[in-house]
Structure 1
Amino acid sequence: MREKPNWAQIGIFLCLALFFLDWASDFLIPIVAAILGFLIMRPIERRMSRLGIPSVITAFAICAVAGAGLMFAVWNFSFPITQLAEDLPEMINDLRRMPNPAAETLDKLGEAAKAAEDAVASTEEEPAMAVKVVENPGFVSSLVAAAPIVVGQIVLTIVLMFFLISSGSTFVRKLVESLPRFSDKRAAVAMVQQVEQKLGQYLGGITLINFCLGIVIGAAMAAWGLPNPIMFAVIAFSLNFVPYIGAVFGALLASIVGFNVYEDAWSAVLIFATYMTLTSIEGQLITPYVISNRLRLNPTVVFVAVAFFAWIWSVVGMVIAVPVLITVKVILDQTPSTRALGVFLGGEEASDTKAQEDRAT
C-alpha cells in the first residue's frame, strides 16, 4: 500500500525553508551567485585545460576580469545614478504638482472630509499627544550604511568562485563519486552538463541582447534630449536582466526625468512609450529568436519566481531568479519522477519540443 504524504510535515518544512532563506540571505546570496558563476564558467575552464593552461590561472583571470568590471562600473556610474536617486523624490513631487482636474476635485473632497472630522473632534476633549518627528535617511546615507555588507558579499562571491573554478573538475567529480549507483552517477554528470549548457546559452544570449538594447535605448534617450544618455543605457542594460519588472521600472524612470526636462506630460508619456516599445520588440521578437525555444520558460512561473526572490533576496534575487529557475527546471527534467513539473515550468514551445522528443524516443 502506497504511503500517503504527510502534508503537515511538508508544510512545516516549507515554512522553515522560507524562514531560513530569508534569515540567511546575506550568506546564501553570494553562495548561490558563486555556484551559478562556476557553472557558467566551467566550459571555459575545460577548454583552457585542454590547451594546457592550469585551472588556477584560468580562475584568477576570470575573477580578476569580474572584479575589474565591477570596479569600472562603480567608478564611472555610481555618481550619476546616485545623483539621480537623490533627485528622484523631488522629480516625483514636481510630477504630482502638475495641474489635474481630477486630483483637484479629490483634494477638495479631502479638505471637506478633514473639516468635518475636525468639527466632530472639537466637541471632545482629548489630551494633547506628543509627536516625535523622525527624519528619514537619504539614499546616499542608506547606501553608505549598506556598503560594507554589499562589498563583503561581492568579495565572498568572487573568492568562492575562484576556489570552485580553480578546482577544475574535482568539485563535480567528488559530487559524482558520492552517489552510490552507476546510473545515479551518469545522471548527475548529464545533469551538470545540461545546467552548464542551458545557463551558458541563456546568460550569454541575454547579455548580448541587453548590451545592444542598452545602446539603442541610450541613443533613443539622447534623441529625446534627456541628460546623461549613457547612464540610461547602463540602467537599461542592468534592469533588463529582471524580466517584466525591469523594463517597466526603466520606462517610468525615463518618463519622470523627461517630465522634469520638458515639464510636459505628453513628452513624458511619449518617452515612456518609446522605452516600452523598444523593450517589447526585444522581448517579443529578438529574444525568442536568439534564445533557443528549449530555454523558454512559463511566463507566469517566471513572474512568480521574480516576485518570490525579490521578496526574500531583494534586487539581487530578481537578477538570479531566472538562472535559478533554469537550473531547477534542468534538474526536474533529468529526474523521471519530477519530469512533469519540469514540463510545467517550460514554455509552450519548449513543451512541444519535449513532447516531440519523447515520441521520437
Structure 2
Amino acid sequence: MTSQTEPFYKKLSLNLISLALLGAALYIGQGILVPLFFAILLATLLLPVTNFLQRIRFPKVPAIILAIFISLALIAGVIYLLSTQVANFLEDSDAIKTRLNSLIHSLQGWINTTFHISTGKQNQYLKDTAENMKDSGAGIVGQTVVNITEALSYVVFLPVYTFLLLFYKDLIKRFIVSVFESTKEENVVDILHESRTIGQHYILGLLTDMTLVFALNSVGFLILGIKYPIFLALVGALLNLVPYIGMLVANVFCMLITLITSENLSDVVWVAVILAIVQFIDNNFMMPLIVGNRVRINALVTIVGVIIGGALCGISGMFLAIPGIAVLKVIFDRVESLKPWGMLLGDDTDNKESKIAAAVTGKASKVPKAPKVAAPKPSKD
C-alpha cells in the first residue's frame, strides 16, 4: 500500500512546490514579469494585424511598428478622453468643495444626534487622523514615487517587449517546441495555438465589452440628467475591466460623485439602479456572447485566483488572473499527469447550482471561447 501511495504524494508535492515557486517568482519579479505578461497579451492581439500587413507586402519590421503605433494611439485616445473629462470635473472644484462641506456638516449632525458624539470630538478625531497622515507622509510619498516609476516602466517597456515578442515569435515557438521534445509536437503546437487564441479573444472581448458598457452607462446617465455623465460612464467602464473589485469601486465612486454634485438624493439611487441594470446585462448577456465560455473556469477558482493575483501583483495581477488561469487550464488538460488540476479549475457541470454561481459572480466563468481545431500544423504564426 505504501508503494502505491508514495508516487501520488511525490507528484502532489512536486506540483504544489512548482505552484509556490511560480507565486514567489511573480511576487519578487512583478516589476519585470507583469509588463512582460501585458506585452504578451498585446502581442497576441496584434499578431493578426502584423500578419495581414505582411501579406499585403509590408516588410516585417515596419508592419510590427505600425501595429504597435495604432494600438498606442488608441490607448492615448482613451487617456486623452479621460483627462479631458477629469479637467471638466476639476473646473467645478470650488462648488464641489462647498457641497462636500455641507454634506460633512449634515453627517456630523446626524452622528451627534444618533450616537451622541459631539461635533468637537468628531473634529478632534479628524485632526488627529490628519496628523497621523502627516507623520506617515514620507511613506505615502515613497509609495507614490514607486507607483509613478512602475507606470513609466510600463510606458517604456510595454512597446519594446511587444515589438521583440512579435519579431522573435518564430524563434520563441521553436524554442518551446524543442524544450518539450519528449511530448508530441502536435500537442505542444495545439497548446500554443489555443493559448494564443484565448489571449486574443479575451482582450478583444474585454475591449468590446468595455465599449458597450460605456455606451449603456452614458445613455443612462444622460437620460438621468446628472452632472459629468461621460466622465462617470468612462470611469465605470474602465473599472469594470477589473473583476469583482472594479464593479464595486465603480458603483461606490459614481454614487459618491453624484451625491456630492447633485441636490436631489434620488439621483444617487437612480445611478445605482442604472449601474445595476448595466451590470446585469453585461454579466448575463454581453460577456457570454462576446467573450464566450468554451474554457470554463469555476467561480471558486476564479475568485481565489483574482484575490491571489491582487495580493501578488496588485490591480495588474487581478486583471491578468483570469487569462492566466485559462492558459493554465489549457496546459493542464493536455498533460496527462496534470489533468486532475485541469478538472479542479473547470466548470463542466451544467446543473442549476453552476448557473446560479456564474450569475452571482458575474465574470466567474466568462473566459474566452477558443475555436476547436484539429491538431494544428506548425505555421509562420
TM-score of the aligned structures, taking structure 1 as reference length: 0.77
> What residue is the counterpart of 2:156 in the other structure?
155
Q: CA deviation at 1:276?
A: 1.6
Equivalent residues in 2 for 1:187-336, closer than 5 Å = 187-336=187-336
* Partner Cα separation in structure 2 for residue 90 and residue 341 of structure 1: 56
SS of aligned partner of 1:176: helix
* Partner Cα separation in structure 1 for residue 148 and residue 191 of structure 2: 37
Q: 2:58 aligned with 1:53, yes or no?
A: yes
| C-alpha contact (below 8 Å) 2:227/2:262 kept by paired residues | no
> What residue is the counterpart of 1:119 in the other structure?
none
User: CA 1:238 to 1:200, structure 2 compared with 1: closer, same or farther past 3 Å?
Assistant: same
| C-alpha contact (below 8 Å) 1:26/1:153 kept by paired residues | no
Q: CA deviation at 1:53?
A: 3.2
* Partner Cα separation in structure 2 for residue 349 and residue 291 of structure 1: 19
> What residue is the counterpart of 2:76 in the other structure?
71
Letter in 2 for 1:186: E
Deviation larger for 240-249 or 10-19? 10-19
> What residue is the counterpart of 1:165 in the other structure?
166
1:35 aligned to 20, 35, 40, which one?
Answer: 40
- 1:233-277: CA deviation from partner (whole Å, max 9, x where unpaired): 322231121122222211111111111122444431221121121
- 1:114-151: CA deviation from partner (whole Å, max 9, x where unpaired): 9xxxxxxxxxxxxxxx9995375899997676323311
User: CA 1:334 to 1:4, structure 2 compared with 1: closer, same or farther past 3 Å?
Assistant: closer
User: CA 1:91 to 1:309, structure 2 compared with 1: closer, same or farther past 3 Å?
Assistant: farther
* Partner Cα separation in structure 2 for residue 75 and residue 304 of structure 1: 34
Letter in 1 for 2:115: D
Q: 2:115 aligned with 1:107, yes or no?
A: yes
User: CA 1:93 to 1:63, structure 2 compared with 1: closer, same or farther past 3 Å?
Assistant: farther
| C-alpha contact (below 8 Å) 2:332/2:341 kept by paired residues | yes
Listed as ranges, the gaps of 5+ residues in structure 2 are 122-130, 355-371, 373-381
User: CA 1:339 to 1:137, structure 2 compared with 1: closer, same or farther past 3 Å?
Assistant: same
* Partner Cα separation in structure 1 for residue 223 and residue 192 of structure 2: 46
| C-alpha contact (below 8 Å) 1:239/1:250 kept by paired residues | yes
Aligned pairs, number = 334
> What residue is the counterpart of 2:378 in the other structure?
none
Letter in 2 for 1:107: F
Q: CA deviation at 1:184?
A: 3.5
Q: CA deviation at 1:193?
A: 0.4
Listed as ranges, the gaps of 5+ residues in structure 1 are 115-129
| C-alpha contact (below 8 Å) 1:294/1:350 kept by paired residues | no
RMSD of Structure 2 on Structure 1 (CA): 3.8
- 1:198-241: CA deviation from partner (whole Å, max 9, x where unpaired): 22223222321220111110221222233332222322231121
Q: 2:9 aligned with 1:5, yes or no?
A: yes
Identity of aligned residues (%): 20
| C-alpha contact (below 8 Å) 2:45/2:204 kept by paired residues | no
| C-alpha contact (below 8 Å) 1:293/1:349 kept by paired residues | no
SS of aligned partner of 1:3: helix
* Partner Cα separation in structure 1 for residue 277 and residue 235 of structure 2: 16
Q: CA deviation at 1:63?
A: 1.5
TM-score of the aligned structures, taking structure 2 as reference length: 0.73
The structure having more radius of gyration, on CA atoms, is 1
* Partner Cα separation in structure 2 for residue 35 and residue 131 of structure 1: 42
Q: CA deviation at 1:104?
A: 4.3
